[in-house]
Each structure stands twice: as structure tokens, then as C-alpha cells.
Structure 1
Amino acid sequence: MGFGFKTTWLAVRERSPEEVADALRLAARERLSWDEGTDRAYVSGVYVAGPVDGWTLAHGRRDLATFDYSATDPRFPEWFAALSARLGEVQFFVNERGWFSHGWAHAVDGVVVRAFATFDGDVPLFIGEPTPEEREVGKGLRGWGDNWRDWQEEDWDAWYESAPNEQDVLKLAARWSVHPLLVDSAQFGDQGIYGMPVRPS
């Protein structure tokens, strides 16, 4: 059992599951295995796994952020920057085929250095310059800019050619940090933390 499709997740460099769970304000915590925690987080809540190659993964289909999981939500950059200010280097991935939501973001010490995301036809999130890994995958290379309403057919063709799909998100995750579907669940035991985020009142 793993995750990577129809969900969102974080990869946090060199932080413990407890530190990540604290930053995400998880309450009603339980210690769960990778398989059980992953399964539960697909329904509700967030599962923070033990470290994998120096990265701690936090998975939650609907409850990872404090708003709808679309990274094109205008609140996303501020939320993500605040999370990084607390945790250091943080990566975010969204991979929802049903809502055509695909994207990624990378922040270090409270600064969002790169972000790209689409959501069901919304004007995409595009912050910073594409990374070498994105160029290697060939996706997320083009935003809409201020003149997208004036685009010609060739402009739209270029946009759709660089728009990612669900496999592309996983390819980039593997290059940036960890491919979550390739994690060996046997290494974890019951190290992971499952909980429900406390929403601001």
C-alpha cells in the first residue's frame, strides 16, 4: 500500500514525524503503520510517516492544508511559506486526476522558491523559475502570464504540452525527494503518526 495518486502530500527534509505533526497541528494522534496510516489518510486526516532517505512524508487527501487542497487557492502560498518557516525545507505535491489538479511547490526557510499547479481550469499557480528537474521531465514550464487572454492557438498548444499529468507529478517527486509509491513499507513498523488537523477558529 502506498500513495501518490488522487491525493496530496508533503516531503520535509530532516524533520521528525513529531515535528511535522506539530507544525500541521494534528490532534487525536495515533501510532499507525505505513499501510494503515496511508489507507486512513485517503479518507480523512493526515498520516506522517517515519523518515525515508532523509525526508519525512505527510499524506492527506483532504485535510493536509487548512483549506481546499487546491494549490491554486490564493491562500496557498502564505500557508506553505508559514509551514516552511517552521520546518525548513518543505515540498508539496498534489495529484488529483478527478479534479485535474496537478502540481508541486518547494519552500526553504519560509520562502516559496518554486511553485506550479493547475486546478480544474483555474489560472495556474506559477512562482519562481522552473527547476532543472522540471525541465528534465518537461512539465510545468509555462504559466499563463498577464496576456493569456490574447493567446493564439500555438500558445495554447505549448501550454497543454507542458501541463503535467499524474505520472509527471510522481516523476518530479522522485527527482526532488521521494517517490511515495516506491517506499518499502516494511521499514517503518508503527513509527508513523496519524491525526486530524485542528482548524483555526
Structure 2
Amino acid sequence: MRLLLVLLLFRLVQWLAEKVRAWRRHRKLVRQLRDLGVYGGTITADRSKSGRPAPPVPAPCREPDGPVPFGYKTAWLALRCGSPEPVISALRPGLRQSANWTTGLAAAQAQSGGWVFVSPVLDGFVLAVGDGLFALAERQDELNALAAQFSEVQYFASHRVSSSYCWARYKAGRCLRAYCTEDGRVLRNTGALTPEEQALGFGAFPAQDGQDADRQPGEEDVLDIAAAWGVDPRFETPYPPSTGWLCRPDGWKEE
């Protein structure tokens, strides 16, 4: 009986120690998320539509890792330049900090915070990814002003819930091509189809709102044209480990 009591006491001590360690880990994570600006309350209180607690946004980590695929339910820019610094400068961040792909993209695609993840150079382009960039589809003046600062700027947005799909290509500050749809309506169709769009069969999309078409654009089409124009966000071709930057632009906070 005494041995049984000792074993039970030992198990109780182990359980309490694990609870204390878990509480400390939780408090540390909360502090990190608050410093990052993406903590919006107690983590366990944030629940997804399924009723289960939503996973917390990982705290930023500077350890290099390989590019993480993205492109669904998000918006991004591909800017031709030889360093991320001109991109960061153009975003005019109030805050910035180093982050790897995994934690940087997680923060940039969180539901709050307005962060943008700026990548290192990939095939001559720097990527800027974040849900806050969805607004650029409607803020043409801001997108035009940004495009004027680089030799080439590409813009992409994809969100299957609202059936919103956009892509645009600027060179020397001039919009060569832009196409945007939402809920089956054509919101923008500027310039002629590029050779890459023609090769991908985008001529089957409606050219104007209300027009019958062979098919409507989808999220895979946005990924395909991004790959054809420069950088494939699916990253099927491996890249060496690297880190980027998390930036919170002063002027592009989420509404």
C-alpha cells in the first residue's frame, strides 16, 4: 500500500510539473505574439468555424528554412529587384523584424496585425505576402505608385470563399495587363492577354461582366500565371534555406 501511495504521489508531481511547464510555454508564447502584434486575446478563446481552438500564430523565428508554399486565400506582390531592402523601404514599415518562411508567412496570413512577409531574392524577384495586400486590388493609386518604383511589379490575389481572383503586371510603372473577378463578375480587364495567359488558356475567361464564357478563373489559375510570369509560390523547385523580414506598413493596415 505504501509503495502504491508513493507511485501515485510521484505521478501527481509529474502531472503538476508538466502543467507548470505548459503554463510557462503558454505565457512565453503570449508575450512573443503581443510583441509581434498578432495576439488578439487568449489563445484558447480563439475558435475556428469547426468549434475547435484555432492554432496560435507561431512566434517569429530567425533560423533559416526553405520557402513555404502559399497562394491560397492570400495576396502577394512579386517585385523585380536585387535586394529586399528597396521593397521594405517602399512598404514604409512602422515595424520590421527578421523571420523565416514558416513563421513569417504564418504571421502575414493571420487574421489581424496587418503584417507583410518580405522574402529574400528568388529568381530576380522579391515577394511581399500578406492578407493586408488584398486592399491593393481596389487601391489602384497605391499600386500604381508602388509599381513606379521598380522595373517590374506583379500583383496577385486569390480567395475562393468570395471567388476573388486577380493578377496584374506592371513594367516601368505602366500597367501592361490586369484582370480581376469577384463572384463571377469581371471587375477589371486591362491590356491584351499576355503570351503566358494565352498558353494557359485564359482566353476562355469572360472579357467583360455578364459575358458568357467557357470557364471562370480559379485559384490554381492565379498560381499558374504567377509561375509563368516569374516565381511559382508552390515552390516545386527547391531553394536553399533563407530568412526574410516581417514588416507592418503604416499606411496599409487592414480595415
Q: TM-score, normalised by structure 1?
A: 0.82
Instruction: Compare relative contact order (CA 8 Å, sep 6+) and give the higher one, 1 or 2.
Output: 1
Deviations 1:112-163 (A, max 9, x none): 1100011234442111001011111112654217xx5xxxxxx41x2xx343
Say if 2:133 is the partner of 1:64: yes
* Corresponding residue for residue 195 of structure 1: 247
Corresponding letter in the other structure for 2:95: A
**Mapped partners of 1:101, 1:33: distance in 2:** 28
Say if 2:89 is the partner of 1:25: no
**Mapped partners of 2:72, 2:146: distance in 1:** 23
* Corresponding residue for residue 47 of structure 1: 117
**Mapped partners of 1:41, 1:18: distance in 2:** 18
Say if 2:180 is the partner of 1:85: no
From 231, 235, 241, give the equivalent of 1:182: 235
| Alignment check: 8 A CA contact 1:34 1:185 kept | no
Q: What secondary structure does 2:109 align onto?
A: helix
| Alignment check: 8 A CA contact 1:25 1:197 kept | yes
**Mapped partners of 2:121, 2:100: distance in 1:** 13
In structure 1, runs of 5+ residues without a counterpart are 149-154
From 93, 96, 107, give the equivalent of 2:170: 107
**Cα pair distance change 1:24/1:184, threshold 3 Å:** farther
| Alignment check: 8 A CA contact 2:164 2:183 kept | yes
Aligned-pair identity (%) = 37
**Mapped partners of 1:175, 1:121: distance in 2:** 24
Corresponding letter in the other structure for 2:130: G
Q: Pick which of 136-145 and 37-46 moved more.
A: 136-145
Shift of 1:87: 1.8
Deviations 1:51-103 (A, max 9, x none): 11111111011x226xx35x2x2x32x22221111122000011111111112
**Mapped partners of 1:186, 1:104: distance in 2:** 24
- Structure with larger Rg: 2
Corresponding letter in the other structure for 2:86: E
From 73, 83, 90, give the equivalent of 1:16: 83
**Mapped partners of 2:142, 2:184: distance in 1:** 22
**Cα pair distance change 1:2/1:85, threshold 3 Å:** same
**Mapped partners of 1:6, 1:50: distance in 2:** 22
CA RMSD in angstroms, aligned pairs only? 2.2
**Mapped partners of 2:198, 2:155: distance in 1:** 18
Q: TM-score, normalised by structure 2?
A: 0.65
Corresponding letter in the other structure for 1:81: N
Q: What secondary structure does 1:174 align onto?
A: helix
